[in-house]
Copies of this chain bind each other. A is one copy, B any other.
Amino acid sequence: MQTLKVSLAERSYPIHIGVNLLSRADLLQPHLKNKKAVVVTNVTVAPLYLDRLMATLGVLGVDALPVILLDGERYKTWETLNQIFDALLDAHCERSTTLIALGGGVIGDMGGFAASCYQRGMPFIQVPTTLLSQVDSSVGGKTAINHPLGKNMIGAFYQPQLVLADISTLDTLPDRELRAGLAEVIKYGLIRDPEFFDWLEANIQLLLARDRQALAYAVQRSCANKADVVAADERETGERALLNLGHTFGHAIETGMGYGEWLHGEAISAGTLIAMDLSCRIGLVTVDDVFRVKKLFINAGLPVRGPQMPAERYLELMRHDKKVQDGKLRLVLMKGIGEAIVSDVASEREILASISACCT
């Protein structure tokens, strides 16, 4: 097992990464304030891992209530969130009850947002069970639900007490979701860790073959990058925005196609390639850089072209992006493998050209 730390003064917390962590009562115990918990999960994850986690909580004498939601990005809504609140209130949960999110990014985002709002804040533990949530969404305290007009538009910065990334849960992850998770892994290499990018180029097949050692390394290195960035800029006033490489385009794809049609990681993959094209178009990276990045995404089995939507529709959706400032789009662009910047220099015409060039 590896342990990393997200350093945020009194809101600091550990990330444990390893195998069979769901059974480790000793890891959960220090982070439970009392003997009551709620486990928020979904209909896909519950049959696989809920019993295991409940047994571990049972060992600690914790009275845990499961809340089982429908599965998928299309359910990341207020209606589903309200099911959590109803369950919490029906069970007389207190503000010291711990909410444990067991599942992927949707469960973590909704569980975390529910925890941040319930009685104005209850303790919260992330137990991510997908590659994407283990390397990205469970770390750093971004929680949210979607709005019909924009992804993750309603939410909170709310840090967990603990992230428990049990690599064993990746055994049951569908191939498509494993690949989607790799998009966020590659992102860290691209924006700030060129050595890791090299490693990914060399080892992508091992990851796709679910080699445990390779997966553990990828999760640990991704989390180390994320923890660094979050510690330096918790509320995204600067550097943290770089973690959104490909996300402005990607969110437009997810919202425009209907939440859940494209997995988040798939949209980020296509979005990153649009960002690369745009970075090349305005002279920040070379054509060789673009090819190199594209090759890695292709080797990871990820889509490198966006879906067919009019470029103007992309732009319209992108105008809801959280990085928009004084009406101006700010995009994460690349300056080379391992270096990203936030920039508003690209013109609307250039952005439209890159979208048109990179979408089916």
Contacts and interface: CB of A to CB of B under 8 A. Distances in A.
A24 to B, nearest CB: 26
23 contacts: A78-B78, A78-B82, A85-B153, A85-B154, A86-B149, A89-B149, A89-B150, A89-B153, A90-B149, A92-B320, A92-B327, A94-B322, A94-B324, A95-B322, A96-B325, A117-B154, A117-B156, A119-B153, A119-B155, A119-B322, A120-B144, A121-B156, A121-B235
Interface in A301-329: 319-320, 322, 324-327
A153 B86 CA distance: 11
B85 A147 contact: yes
A336 B319 CA distance: 58
Contacts of A155: 117, 119-120
A150 B86 CA distance: 10
Contacts of A325: 94, 96
A181 B6 CA distance: 44
Interface in A77-115: 78, 82, 85-86, 89-90, 92, 94-96
B324 A92 contact: yes
Interface string A321-360: 0101111000000000000000000000000000000000
Contacts of A144: 120
Q: Kindly report how many copies of this chain are found in the complex they form together.
A: 2
Nearest to A34: B326
A86 B149 CA distance: 8
A320 B92 CA distance: 6
Contacts of A196: none
Contacts of A319: 92
A224 to B, nearest CB: 24
Interface in A102-154: 116-121, 142, 144, 147, 149-150, 153-154
Most chain B beta-carbon contacts within 10 A, residue among A119, A144, A150: A119
A75 interface: no
A319 B93 CA distance: 10
Contacts of A235: 121
A320 B89 contact: yes
Nearest to A92: B319
A214 to B, nearest CB: 34
Contacts of A49: none
Contacts of A147: 85, 89
Nearest to A319: B92
A9 to B, nearest CB: 12
Given A94-B326, A95-B322, 4 more contacts: A86-B149, A94-B322, A120-B157, A156-B156
A325 B95 CA distance: 8
B156 A116 contact: yes
